[in-house]
Each structure stands twice: as C-alpha cells, then as structure tokens.
C-alpha cells in the first residue's frame, strides 16, 4: 500500500508541475520555435524574452502597483477581520445572525458585485486609482479573513481572557496584549491567502483601471497577446515574473504558520 500511495503522489505532482515546467521551458524559445516544436528543448537557451519584458514594458511600475494594492488591501482586511472576529467571541444579541451575514459573503460570486463596485468606486472618486482597487479587494477578502481568524480565535482557551480581566485589563488591552499575539498564526494564514488572491486578481483590476500608471502586473500580461500580435514566449516570461513573488511569500510565511501552530496558546 505504501508504494501505491507514493505512486499516486508522484502522479499528482507530475500533473500539477508539468504545465508550469512547460511554461518555463517556453520562455527560452522564440515565438516561431515554440509553434514549430512546442514540447522540444530550445536550440539556444537565451534570456531574450525576459530582457524584452523588462526593457520594452514598465514592469517595475506594474510590479509596484500590484505590491501596493496587495499590501494595502491585506492590511485593511486583516484589521477589520481581527476586530470583527474578536467581537464575535463575546455573546451579544443577534451575534449569530451578524456572523452568518458577514461570513456568508464567501458563497456569493465576486463577479456578482461588478456593477455595484464599479458604481461606488466612481461615486467616491477612486476610479483608476490604486486605493480604489485596494478597497474593493479588502471588501471581497473580508468574509474569508473573518472565517479563518474567527475559527482560530475559537481555539484560544477563554480562561486566558478571564485571567486578563481579573488582573484589571479591559476589553481593548485584553485584545491587544493577550488575544492578538496568540492569534498570530491565524492572521498569518489569512494574510497568505489575501496576498496571493490580491496579487493574482484580474477581473476588478481590469474593470477599475484604464491608464498605464495604475495597471497591475496581471492586467499588463494580457497586452502581450493582442489581436495583431501574439508573442507567447514573452507573455510566458511575464507570467513567470508574476508567479515568483507568490511562491516566495508562501515559502517564507508557511514556516511561521507551522511554528505558531505548534507553539499553541502557552506561547
């Protein structure tokens, strides 16, 4: 049975990695070579496609826009989610209804809010701006972040908060000095999902921007494939540049999640 399990894992890993490895291989080919031999090795392993992406397009501007939007939206969503999750740990009237209403946003497709979000962002004057996209991303990510952080806060023993109250700490100090530090693993877990989601999002970034100065990296990739010209190796090179930050973020923060979970509430 052990060899069957290993064989299954290797098969799944191959299926998942094959498209990514093929895309990396295609970035070292010319457009003509890609169509002539899509699965063959490049005749010359050159970095011309990466150089063309970095020199002919303001990739640094796109990268900066995506980074600012992802960071701001994640911070806003985490701030609201941690406060809301802490409130839901107390018993008050209609708590279950408010919690279901907030977390229930996960069940609603994000594209269902295209028209309301477009109207609201125009109305407040944030169309074609980074802050407008960040606000939309924070609103979309709020239900998921509340669900993750609230579930983690439910695992914290209530005796810790009771001991803080007995020592004279109020609601706010208990939150900042006791609950928030212990909830660090849950917050980091939510931040990983929020950062990756905001970094890879395309629909609203394309809907709420029109100028090149506010264009994100994901929106810029589609301009490599136009009606009159389609340079697939350069587009794949841009995709690789867009994927690398998410892989690095996950690799760095995943260790902190594991360390925090094993430490537990005693920490």
For 83-109, write each residue's pLDDT tens digit: 888 888 877 788 788 888 877 778 888
Q: What percent of the chain has pLDDT over 70?
A: 93
pLDDT at 72: 94
Q: Is the pLDDT score of 264 beyond 60? A: no
Please give the average per-residue pLDDT across 245-254, as a whole number: 76
What is the per-residue pLDDT across 123-151, written as a single tens digit (0 to 9) for each? Answer: 998 998 999 999 999 988 888 888 888 88
The residue extents of the domains of the chain are 1-46, 55-263
Q: What is the pLDDT of residue 258?
A: 60
Angle between helices 232-263 and 2-26 (to 10 degrees): 140
Least confident of 18-32, 186-200, 224-238: 224-238
pLDDT band at 267 (very low <50, low <70, confident <90, very high): very low
What does 49-69 look like in DSSP terms, one character per residue?
HHHHHHHHS-HHHHHHHHHHH
- The Cα–Cα gap between 70 and 200 comes to 9
Max CA pair span of the chain: 75
**pLDDT of residue 262 exceeding 60:** no
Q: Which of 248, 231, 247 is nearest to 53 (CA)?
A: 231
Q: Examine the pLDDT at 227 and tell me if it is beyond 80.
A: no
Average pLDDT, the chain: 83
Mean pLDDT in residue range 153-163: 81
Structure tokens at 202: 């395309």
Question: What's the first-to-final CA gap in the chain, in angstroms?
Answer: 39
For every residue of 83-150, which 3-state class applies, written as one string?
HHHHHCCCCCCCHHHHHHHHHHHHHCCHHHHHHHHHHHHHHCCCCCCHHHHHHHHHHHHHHHHHHHHH
What digits encode the pLDDT tens for the residues 27-84? 888 888 888 888 888 888 878 888 888 887 788 889 899 999 999 999 999 999 998 8
Share of the chain above pLDDT 90, in %: 13
pLDDT at residue number 266? 45
Q: Which helix (H) or strand (E) holds 29?
A: none
257 band by pLDDT with thresholds 50, 70 and 90? low
CATH of domain 55-263: 1.10.3720.10
- pTM (2 d.p.): 0.82
- C-alpha 181/C-alpha 198 separation (Å) is 25
pLDDT reading at 254 higher than 70: no
Confidence check: pLDDT of 238 > 50: yes
Of 152 and 79, the one with more pLDDT? 79
């Amino acid at each position: 049975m052990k060899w069957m399990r290993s064989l299954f894992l290797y098969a799944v890993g191959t299926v998942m990695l094959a498209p990514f490895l093929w895309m990396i291989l295609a970035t070292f080919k010319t457009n003509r070579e890609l169509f002539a031999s899509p699965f063959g090795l490049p005749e010359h392993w050159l970095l011309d496609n990466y150089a063309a992406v970095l020199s002919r397009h303001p990739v640094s501007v796109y990268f900066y826009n995506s980074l600012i939007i992802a960071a701001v939206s994640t911070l806003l969503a985490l701030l609201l989610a941690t406060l809301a999750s802490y409130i839901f740990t107390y018993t008050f009237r209609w708590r279950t209804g408010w919690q279901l209403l907030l977390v229930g946003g996960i069940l609603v497709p994000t594209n269902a809010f295209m028209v309301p979000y477009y109207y609201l962002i125009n109305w407040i004057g944030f169309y074609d701006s980074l802050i407008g996209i960040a606000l939309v991303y924070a609103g979309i990510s709020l239900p998921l972040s509340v669900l993750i952080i609230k579930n983690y806060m439910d695992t914290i023993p209530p005796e810790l908060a009771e001991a803080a109250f007995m020592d004279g700490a109020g609601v706010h100090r208990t939150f900042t000095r006791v609950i928030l530090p212990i909830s660090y693993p849950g917050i980091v877990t939510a931040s990983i999902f929020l950062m990756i989601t905001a970094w890879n999002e395309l629909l609203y970034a394309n809907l709420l921007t029109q100028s090149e100065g506010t264009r994100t990296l994901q929106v810029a990739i589609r301009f490599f494939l136009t009606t009159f010209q389609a340079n697939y190796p350069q587009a794949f090179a841009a995709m690789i540049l867009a994927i690398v930050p998410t892989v690095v973020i996950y690799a760095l923060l995943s260790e902190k999640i594991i360390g925090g979970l094993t430490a537990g509430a005693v920490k």
